[in-house]
Amino acid sequence: MGCLGALFKKNSEFAPAYAPPTAEVKRDVCEPKQVPASVPKEVEHFEPCGCSDLSSAFARMSAGDADLPAYEEFSEFKDDAVRETIRKTIDSYASKLTEISLYISDHPEESYEEHKACAKLTAFLKDEGFDVETPYKKLDTAFRASYSHGSGRTFAFCSEYDALPGVGHACGHNLIAVSGVAALLGLRAAMKKHDIKGTVELLGTPAEEGGVGKGVLIERGAFKSIDASMMIHPTGLMGGRYGVGGIVPTLAICGLNVDFIGRAAHAGMAPWDGINALDAAHIAYASVSALRQQLHPDVRVHGIITKGGDRPNIVPAHTRMEYYVRAPAAASVKDLTAKLTTLFEAAGKATGCKVQTEVTPMMYELRNNGPLSNHYASVMKDAGHPVLVALDDFTGAGASTDFGNVTYTVPAAHPHFSIPATEGKANHTPEFTERCRSPKAHELTYEFAGGMAVTAARFLTDDEFAKEAKKCWEKDMERVGKP
């Protein structure tokens, strides 16, 4: 049946079977399930996505956790034929997609420098007959590929393809790149064969690892015509298993870079002629440390002094500090960022130093959409790949991704899937770079991408389902508030 056959036949190779829940659970599908070109001017590198933290979020995943509550069917939509078309299509492209993935892995490029990856992907998409625009929104390494069949809603997949310094594609972005292409190919075929009206897009989104590329694309209008979006992401073992998935939130994050400007003087002969910028940094560091006693346990503030002076006999004229602020809500990060800025200004006034504070673009937390997440999990469960859905459970969360910004813009979901990996050697390690090149990793990528395409087909086909997804998103945005 090929590598996508698992979408239609129960497959126990990747994960042991699990028992259904003993009691049916009814709930509102919008409510969270509680379970234990050049770099754009507005962007600065500040934070790798931190996906190495993700495995801990699934350490508690058991067979029971993987089962979903009762899912409300919005219509009599039958997607067996759609699934079959998607499966066969992706399966037929598997070898070509793997070739592209390995090429991207062989040529790692950091944020906003992904010229080879972008060229490889867009050349393939053009050859396959898609309308391709690149550069896109004035980003040299971004692209948009699209296909329309009549009028209707627009669903977008996202691909990432930037690498990490020193370890290459240790976060599996070579797999993410081709997962979006696979979903695009599968859904286009289904739209043609089954007369599914609407538009499907693939957005090539650079600089996830350090440039908030999706945030830049959002600000420049890339998502204005999009009704919903999805992408998938590989990770290491979940609960000691591979071939399983999870849809969980990540933290919002923002970076602050602060420079204290004083005046140099001879520290032994005339220190009174100087203005000590290191004193300002010391006061600022101590002030942030004192602030921590007033912070909630799920908030993180961590920073370093990157420049403390030149020599002990010179009163430091310039010091620099870098901080990250993380929290489960973007609004909390915004508030805390303002507090830190005030502390830095106070440290400058206390010492007579000038203060220059730069706030980097924020990665918002992931707010996965309930209907999209649950339908995707249902599809993958049928394929023998249990997916944990925990929409608002931040237990163990420590990672961040710029797809969080997408979830604040349209109804969206960001499932993760586990590939074979050494325990403790997951994302952002050299070992994971090699694991993301394996045949099994690619096979799983195409299976989970197929589930994404099936979910998108449901969104384009089922009016009630699409309305419910939007309703849940609007309700969630009202609850958390856009920062």
Lowest pLDDT segment from 33-47, 221-235, 452-466: 33-47
Q: Does residue 328 lie in a domain region?
A: yes
Q: Length of the chain, please?
A: 483
Is residue 88 located within the same domain as residue 235?
yes
When the pLDDT of each residue in the chain is averaged and rounded to a whole number, the result is: 87
Is residue 168 located within the same domain as residue 297?
no
Buried b (16+ CB within 10 A) or exposed e, 15-31: beeeeeeeeeeeeebbe
- 3 state SS of 251: coil
Strand order in the sheet with 300-307: 300-307, 318-327, 252-261, 354-359
Is residue 335 located within the same domain as residue 405?
no
- Alpha-carbon gap, residue 205 to 401, rounded angstroms: 12
Kindly report, residue by residue over 254-267, the tens digit of the pLDDT. Answer: 999 999 999 999 99
Confidence of residue 482 (pLDDT cuts 50, 70, 90): confident
For residue 344, give its domain range.
252-363
Q: Does residue 66 lie in a domain region?
A: no
Q: What is the mean pLDDT of residues 237-258?
A: 91
pLDDT score for 9: 38
Kindly report, residue by residue over 183-237, the tens digit of the pLDDT. Answer: 999 999 999 999 999 999 999 999 999 889 999 999 999 999 999 999 999 998 8
Is residue 296 located within the same domain as residue 379?
no
pLDDT score for 29: 54
422 has pLDDT over 90? no
Q: Does residue 323 lie in a domain region?
A: yes
Give the N- to C-terminal CA distance of the chain in Å, as an integer: 48
38 has pLDDT over 60? no
- Alpha-carbon gap, residue 172 to 103, rounded angstroms: 13
The structural domain count of the chain equals: 2
Is residue 118 located within the same domain as residue 242?
yes
Cβ neighbors of 402 (< 8 A, separation 6 or more) are 49, 205, 208, 212, 213, 214, 215, 363
Kindly report, residue by residue over 125-169, the tens digit of the pLDDT. Answer: 999 999 999 999 999 999 999 999 999 999 999 999 999 999 989
Kindly report, residue by residue over 286-343, the tens digit of the pLDDT. Answer: 999 999 999 998 899 999 999 999 999 999 999 999 999 999 999 999 999 999 999 9
pLDDT score for 238: 81
pLDDT score for 77: 52
Q: Which is more confident, 357 or 36?
A: 357
User: How distant is the alpha carbon of residue 202 from its chain centre?
Assistant: 15
Q: Would you list the DSSP string of 312-326?
A: TTB--SEEEEEEEEE
Domain boundary among 340, 363, 386: 363
- Alpha-carbon gap, residue 357 to 91, rounded angstroms: 51
pLDDT score for 462: 97
C-beta separation of 161 from 117 below 8 A: yes
- Alpha-carbon gap, residue 263 to 267, rounded angstroms: 11
Domain boundary among 363, 386, 420: 363
Lowest pLDDT segment from 152-156, 238-242, 388-392, 403-407: 238-242
Q: How many CA atoms lie within 13 A of 402 on its CB side?
A: 28
- 3 state SS of 50: coil
Lowest pLDDT segment from 74-83, 191-200, 202-211, 376-385: 74-83
Is residue 350 located within the same domain as residue 371?
no
pLDDT score for 210: 80
Is residue 235 located within the same domain as residue 289?
no
Tell me the CATH number at 259: 3.30.70.360
Q: Does residue 410 lie in a domain region?
A: yes
